[in-house]
Structure 1
Amino acid sequence: MERPRFRASFLHPRFWPLWLGLGLLWLVTQLPYRVLLGLGRVAGALLYHLAGSRRRIAARNLELCFPALPAAERERLLKANFASMGIAFFEMAMSWWWPRARLAKLAHIEGLEHLRTAQAEGQGVILMALHFTTLEIGAALLGQVHTIDGMYREHRNPVFDYVQRRGRERHNRDATAIEREDVRAMLKVLRAGRAIWYAPDQDYGAKQSLFVPLFGIPAATVTATSKFARLGRARVVPFTQQRLADGSGYRLTLHPPLEDFPGDSEEADCRRINAWVEVSVSDCPAQYLWAHRRFKTRPPGEPGLYRKER
């Protein structure tokens, strides 16, 4: 996909409110990091009260995944999760607009040798990530030290799409943005020995998925990770990131490549992936994206797990 280019049509009056909002966000993002964390928590508290539908989805997911947790503790975790989502809004802007040197000071990276070893050996890597609220800034910080290609879905608003892509790709000048449905392009970059960010932890429907346990609940789990690893002759390197409680930045961890992957069956691979998801999410539950209906798709004959919104 070619680099984003500014077009004269972006100056049409219908885009002026968006440009104004982006300009104000840019100004706010110049504030000190700890101030932005505080503003994010305030934004998250407002979101908790205003986004009723998403709050109910997140609360239901926490109830399903942590049934033994007391209700009061789940409520505390829910509020912390919305605070994390509020912070993520400013982290997105930081990753787009902060000077690279200022942003780099927040990175604490572990396990980078797993990517560099694969690169030296000409081996493609599936950087198996999760949908944490720190996703945007985590990818930006890692992209500063190693080229990471990414799956991409074009935003419906062309101005926002331009700003978003430009902000993301400034950290990876030679990176490739791949359309999410372009499997052939993904396999091509893997076979060329490149690394590509990929997250298999959301519900993409029953097609090309298997139902395997996730926190003890049958969950539609994509089999694509196994297929991409096999057809792209790639290693799978799990990747997690975490916002540090002391305000010093982010811990990015590249874990050792999965051994004997793909395995004997896609079902076994999916179970293995979901087991890793459980451990990673349980390690930092407040920063996971619980507002996604992860258990929306049910096995035939099973009732839905979410309340229908009016």
Structure 2
Amino acid sequence: MLTRLSTHLAIGFLKFLAILPYGLVARFGDGLGWLLYQIPSRRKRVVHINLRLCFPQWDAARRNEVAGQHFRHVIRSYVERSVQWFGSAAKLEKLVQIESEIDLLDPDMPPTLLLGAHFVGIEAGSIFINYALQRQCGALYQPISNPLLDKVAIEARGRFGSHMASRADSARIVLRWLRDRKPVMLGADMDYGKRNSMFVSFFGVPACTLTATGRLARTGNAQVVPFIGEVLPGYKGYRLKVFKPWENYPSGDDYADARRMNEWLEAEIPHIPEQYYWVHKRFKTRPEGEKGFY
């Protein structure tokens, strides 16, 4: 647990890194990730369990290769919060390539839920899609247990006009935002427990999956537009990939809508498996009577 002094020091260090060249910061984070992967840890174990569950066809060498790359990406993503939170808009513009299948500047954009997938570049993608839209957006976030760090994160994530709301207080706020034609960013591909969730297959394993996206889209008469923040090779920055709205979604069937999201992830993750957020205990919540994996 970070003390107040150590939190201030950590934030100060991130602000210092933000003024350095991005390539230097990215290489530092990559090297730190490589070093930490050499040390046994709970999170390293979680990564290996998740990869073994989702890709049982991989041999140990392939799994270890992807796990090592992923650990480097994760630690690097924490270090790169420096640029994402404190770097200038001009610096971010140079670092983020946009590939969008929709017109982000469309003044007549219908009510829209922007569904961010938890790849390691989600922070950069979420901040920059808000900037690229050039309008006020809403965004849901999971509070950080450290109050000072939470305050800094909220300010950084909302600095281009995004209005932040805690996930716990979200439903009414999101519907109000949608009525006001304010695009809303949210993530739904993590295990938040059984509330508002059901067990849906994810790479063949039952995963506790939120049903909120489909229900919010149905109630708010909104389209769902998924996006991915991808880290580019060669320390070149990021690619923000914005996809077309899902057709025939929501369907009115919570299970089918949750499965739609997981199917989409199953199609996208194999393109860059090392960048999906395997350090998260995606299968932490289990069906009644089933033994845990972690």
Q: TM-score, normalization: structure 2? A: 0.92
Of residues 256, 280, 283, the one that matches 1:292 is 280
Rounded to whole Å, the distance in 2 between the matches of 1:226 and 1:75 is 36
Shift of 1:22: 2.1
| 2:50 is aligned with 1:87 | no
**Cross-structure match for 1:209:** 197
Shift of 1:26: 2.0
Amino acid at match of 1:145: A
**Cross-structure match for 1:47:** 36
Amino acid at match of 1:96: W
Deviations 1:25-77 (A, max 9, x none): 32233222221121011111233244610110111000001111111011010
| Paired residue secondary structure (2:132) | coil
Q: Is the 8 A contact 2:251 2:257 kept in 1?
A: yes
Deviations 1:67-102 (A, max 9, x none): 111110110100000100121012211011112101
Rounded to whole Å, the distance in 2 between the matches of 1:232 and 1:222 is 17
Higher mean alpha-carbon deviation, 87-96 vs 48-57, is at 48-57
Of residues 129, 136, 151, the one that matches 2:116 is 129
Deviations 1:95-117 (A, max 9, x none): 11112101110111111634444
Instruction: Name the % identity.
Output: 36
| 2:155 is aligned with 1:166 | yes
Give me the CA root mean square deviation: 1.8
| Paired residue secondary structure (1:202) | coil
Deviations 1:167-211 (A, max 9, x none): 2222x22x2111212210111101211111111111122232222
**Cross-structure match for 2:266:** 278
Distance 1:55 1:176, change over 3 A: same
Rounded to whole Å, the distance in 2 between the matches of 1:21 and 1:223 is 36
Q: How many residues align?
A: 289
Rounded to whole Å, the distance in 2 between the matches of 1:252 and 1:141 is 8
Q: TM-score, normalization: structure 1? A: 0.87
Rounded to whole Å, the distance in 2 between the matches of 1:247 and 1:156 is 31
Q: Is the 8 A contact 1:115 1:125 kept in 2?
A: no
Of residues 41, 52, 70, the one that matches 1:63 is 52
Rounded to whole Å, the distance in 1 between the matches of 2:246 and 2:195 is 25
Rounded to whole Å, the distance in 1 between the matches of 2:6 and 2:261 is 43
Q: Is the 8 A contact 1:114 1:257 kept in 2?
A: no
Q: Is the 8 A contact 2:101 2:244 kept in 1?
A: no
| 2:95 is aligned with 1:111 | no
User: Which consecutive segments of 4 or more residues in structure 1 shift more than 4 A?
Assistant: none
Rounded to whole Å, the distance in 2 between the matches of 1:264 and 1:99 is 42
Amino acid at match of 1:213: S
Distance 1:275 1:83, change over 3 A: same
Deviations 1:271-309 (A, max 9, x none): 111100111222211111101111112222322222xxx
Q: Is the 8 A contact 1:104 1:144 kept in 2?
A: no
Higher mean alpha-carbon deviation, 270-279 vs 142-151, is at 142-151
| 2:18 is aligned with 1:25 | no
| 2:44 is aligned with 1:74 | no
| 2:161 is aligned with 1:177 | no
| 2:149 is aligned with 1:145 | no
Stretches of structure 1 lacking an aligned partner (at least 5 in a row): 1-13
Rounded to whole Å, the distance in 1 between the matches of 2:163 and 2:88 is 22
